[in-house]
Amino acid sequence: MSSTGEKTEIGRRDFLGVSAIVAGAIAMLSVVAGALRLTKSNVYYEQSQKFKIGRPENFPAGTKVKLDEKKVFIFSENSGLYAISSICTHLGCIVSQTDSGFLCPCHGSRYDGIGNVVGGPAPRALPWLEISLHEDGNLVVDASKEVKSGTMFLI
């Protein structure tokens, strides 16, 4: 059905048509890209990750405190203070404290007293969190900053 004569006759039209369709497709893609970008939230309605936990003298050596709302354990030893996140590294449940360490109720991950994995599906140890001293004398835990396991905060 298509002869060479017909091809040359409509060649220009085809160029116009193809470029139109291509341009249309690119334009639509840009719109879709913008729309997809739109769906990503720019801001989160979450409390600040940094929080004050009190003054150092509130944590005499030997203290073990679980701050439920902040999802963190605070330990105080003679050598210093440290904070361990209570969020299980497996799928985010909250671990509970046992005699030997921590236990996650959801899928049975087990950690030892300083957060190292000793059983279950957890891929890595419970993170230690940064502790610093605020100007006003309060201790500040920053849950967004992980420190190396074993890093003590010296008073």
Partner 1 sequence: MQSRFYASLLLISALILLAFVSYAGLRELNPEWKTYQKEYKRLFFNNAVTPDMKKKAAEYTVGIRQIYIKDLNRVDRCDNCHVGVENPLMAKEKVPYRQHSGTYLKDHPVTKFGCTICHLGQGNATNKKEAHAEGHDTYWDYPILPLKHIQSSCTQCHNMDFLSKHGADVIIEGEKLFNEKGCKGCHKLSGNGGVLGKALDGVGSQPIHYFPMRYVEGERTQPSWLKQHFEDPRKVVPESVMKVKLTPEEADKLTTYILSIRTYDPPKIYRRINEEPIVAKDGHALYNMYCVACHEDGKLSAFDENLKGTIPAIENPAFLMNADDRFIEMVVKEGRKGTPMTSWQLSSAGLTDEEIKKIVSYVALQRGHESSKPVSVNLKTGDKDAGKEIFNVRCALCHGEKGQGGLGLNLANQIIKKADDQYLFKTIRDGRATTPMPPFGSTGLGLTDQQIVNVISYIKAF
Partner 2 sequence: MSESLKSGIEQFKDNIFGLKDSLTKSYLRAGKPTSDMSRAALMVNNFFLHIQGAKTHINTLRPAYTLGMGLIAFYLFIITCVSGALVMIFYNPSIEHAYSTVKDINYVVFAGRLMRNVHKWSGEGMIVFVLLHMARVLYTNSYKRGREFNWLIGIVLLVLTFVLNLTGYMLPWDQLSYWALVIVSNIIQSPKELTDILGLTKFVDIGGIQKEFFLAGTVPGAATLNRVYFLHIMLLPIIITTFIGVHFWRIRKDGGLTVPDNFNSSCNVDCGNLVVLPKKTGGIFTTNKTYGLMTMSKGVTPAVDRDVENTVLSWPNLAIAEAAVFVLCLAAVIVYSIFVDAPLKEAANALIPENPAKAPWYFLGLQEMVSYSAFMGSIVIPMLSVLGLALIPYLDRDQSDVGIWFSGSAGKKVAIKTLIVGSVCLIGMLAFVVNFGWFRNWWPSIAQIWIILINPANLWLLFVCAWSIWIIKSTGSTRMGAIALFTMFLVSYLILTYVGTELRGPNWEFFWSKAQWPIH
3 state SS for 100-127: CEEECCCCCCEEECCCCEEECCCCCCCC
Contact between 26 and partner 1 per CB under 8 A = yes
Q: How far is CA 37 from CA 32, 33, 40, 42, 74, in A?
A: 9, 6, 6, 10, 40
8 binds, among partner 2, partner 1, none (CB under 5 to 8 A by kind): none
> Which lies closer to partner 2 via its Cβ, residue 9 or residue 146?
9
Binding residues vs partner 2 (CB under 8 A): 1-2, 10, 13, 17, 20-21, 24, 27-28, 31, 34-35, 37-43
The least CB distance from residue 147 to partner 1, in Å, is 17
91 binds, among partner 1, partner 2, none (CB under 5 to 8 A by kind): none
Both tokens assigned to 75: 């330990």
Binding site for partner 1 (CB under 8 A): 10, 13-14, 16-17, 19-21, 23-24, 26-28, 30-31, 34, 42-48, 50, 135-136
